[in-house]
């Protein structure tokens, strides 16, 4: 099983709608998780950190399901500016502070 798996999509979302996607991880010992946003030809930028059951920031909600080993990201009231790739990032097992990246969920918000 890959360390981090994401469905690349694309997820085509009408403006104003809600979209949610999951990221599964293999390391059951992982304690922290991150969602990064990456715009085309740009570097990833931190969107949200998840340390316990979940986190919420405005229209964005991240939830952690330890039993099933996945984290989810939900975007409410989608804006055109939300179009981007959302990367799931999980610390790797080797204890060297390296992070494993998923392939990303590509979100396209449609007017």
Partner 1 sequence: GAVVSQHPSWVICKSGTSVKIECRSLDFQATTMFWYRQFPKQSLMLMATSNEGSKATYEQGVEKDKFLINHASLTLSTLTVTSAHPEDSSFYICSARDYSFGELFFGEGSRLTVL
Residue 47 as a binder of partner 1 (CB under 8 A): the answer is: no
Residues 55-74 that bind partner 1 (CB under 8 A): none
Residue 50 as a binder of partner 1 (CB under 8 A): the answer is: no
Q: Which of 81, 97, 84 is nearest to 73 (CA)?
A: 84
Residue 2 as a binder of partner 1 (CB under 8 A): the answer is: no
Residue 1 as a binder of partner 1 (CB under 8 A): the answer is: no
Q: Which of 18, 33, 6 is nearest to 106 (CA)?
A: 6
Q: Peptide bond before 10: cis, by omega within 30 degrees of 0?
A: yes
DSSP string for 20-87: EEEEEES-TT---EEEEEE-TTS--EEEEEESSSEEEETTEEEEEETTTTEEEEEE-S--GGG-EEEE
**In this chain, which of 17, 18, 31, 45 binds partner 1, going by CB under 8 A?**
45
Residues 15-44 that bind partner 1 (CB under 8 A): 34, 41-44
- The least CB distance from residue 45 to partner 1, in Å, is 7
- The least CB distance from residue 104 to partner 1, in Å, is 6
- Give residues in contact with partner 1 (CB under 8 A): 34, 41-46, 49, 87, 89, 96-99, 101-104
């Amino acid at each position: 099983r890959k360390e981090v798996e994401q469905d690349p999509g694309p997820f085509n979302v009408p403006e104003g709608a809600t979209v949610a996607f999951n990221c599964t991880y293999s390391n059951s010992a992982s304690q922290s998780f991150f969602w990064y946003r990456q715009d085309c030809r740009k570097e990833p930028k931190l969107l949200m950190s998840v340390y316990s059951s979940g986190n919420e920031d405005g229209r964005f909600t991240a939830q952690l399901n330890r039993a099933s080993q996945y984290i989810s990201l939900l975007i409410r009231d989608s804006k055109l500016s939300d179009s981007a790739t959302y990367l799931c990032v999980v610390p790797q097992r080797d204890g060297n502070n390296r992070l494993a990246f998923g392939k990303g969920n590509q979100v396209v918000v449609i007017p």
